[in-house]
Amino acid sequence: CNESDLGPISLNWFEELSAEAPL
Amino acid sequence: DVAELLTPMLTDGPREESLQLVSEIKDSSCSCTVDVSTVWWEAAGSRELRVVTASESAVSLWEPLAPDCWGKVYTWHLGEIPVIQIVPLLDACNLVCVALGELEIGEIRLLLYSSETDSFKHSLVKTGNIKAVVGLKDQRLVSSSRTMQEHQVEMVLLSETGGSKDRQTLMPPEETVTAFAEVEGMREALVGTTAGNTVVVWNLKTGQLLRKMNIGYSYPASICHRAYSDSGLLFVVLSHPHAKESESCGSPAFRVVAFNPRTGRSAGVMFSCLPPGHVGRQYLEGDVWDTTGAAVLTSGAVAVWDLLRGRCAAVLPPGPGGHWALARWAAGGAGLLAGRRDGTFHLYRY
């Protein structure tokens, strides 16, 4: 994959999205 | 003529010999097979892999008697509602899960052996207008159900005695969920595909809907089979039962797509297309184990793919006994189960 097409990548995406998403 | 269609391929790629026949199960009492699966079963101190076969009215458990011979242990007769599918519970032991219903799943039942009463029994886990169900590791079951008024996604923690230990409601997306897949290596992450052609991600511990990502409209009614996270990307194996043939990639049966959950953007990683000679809508149903996919084609053949290389690795043509109707990977990579409607099942080593 071309990283620039996918945008900035985070290894901790699951924790970050869990902290941001409504409960 | 299927044999004629396959001839160019057998000299140039997938080979039937990649699949070695290990054993056959013939269920003479089964007139219309609906599913086949495997289950770990512990009896008299030893744990072994057993085969489960389902017809519309009954589910049978088979044990290995010799290397190439299977004997029926027990048959659960389930009454008036037809069996639609067996729901594999990956690492569960002595538990079989089945979905029953008419046009859609109306109830989910557990089939088990009770040592307390020294008898086989079955118990009801869930009822409703169930659109999709999946078994996860650690005896967890997730299902989505929908009526005009309500859309519910729920995880049930199953007990060994056939009940439920705990339930967790997951936040439903707007569209109906069509399939689920556990994210391997991430116990609390689950993905699903929706009727709106999106991939959704949940946190199973909190029930949060974390992200909704568009798959793209070129492949409608995509179904997720497997997912794993690597290097910050979420890789999802999708199948495309309704995909049309295109000049660039033929007829895709399976596709591996990389999603960036942070941005929701995606990129195709690999296509696995139908073997040459198979055109149009040819895919009936399929199953994924690790990096291999298997599907029944409308020709009555079963095709096997290496999904990471996008290569069709083996084709099992329909035999003199008729067309194949089912293709399922046995648990633990123990082989491929192919089944015919007449109650004949072959176990192949791959």
For residue B327, which of B243, B225, B252 has the smallest C-alpha distance?
Answer: B225
B205: left (phi over 0), alpha (psi -120 to 50) or beta: alpha
pLDDT value at B120 more than 60: yes
Mean pLDDT of A3-15: 89
pLDDT value at B170 more than 90: yes
Chain A residues touching chain B at CB-CB below 8 Å: 1-2, 5-11, 13-14, 16-18, 21-23
The dihedral over CA atoms of B250, B251, B255, B259, expressed in degrees to the nearest 10, equals 70
d(CA B109, CA B126): 7
Token code pair at residue B137: 């590791």
Give tens-digit pLDDT for B98-116: 999 998 999 999 999 988 8
Token code pair at residue A12: 């901790």
Q: How is B283-309 classified by DSSP, letter by letter?
A: EEEEEEETTEEEEEETTS-EEEEETTT
Give tens-digit pLDDT for B126-152: 999 999 999 999 999 999 999 888 899
* Cβ neighbours of B208 in A, within 8 Å: 18, 21-23
Give tens-digit pLDDT for B185-224: 899 999 999 999 999 999 999 999 999 999 876 677 789 9
- Inter-chain contact B233–A1, Cβ cutoff 8 Å? yes
Give tens-digit pLDDT for B264-294: 999 999 988 887 766 555 667 889 998 999 9
* Cβ neighbours of B210 in A, within 8 Å: 14, 17-18, 21
Which ipTM value was assigned to this complex? 0.91
Nearest chain B residue to A15 by CA distance is B203
Let me know: does B260 contact B266? Beta carbons within 8 Å: yes
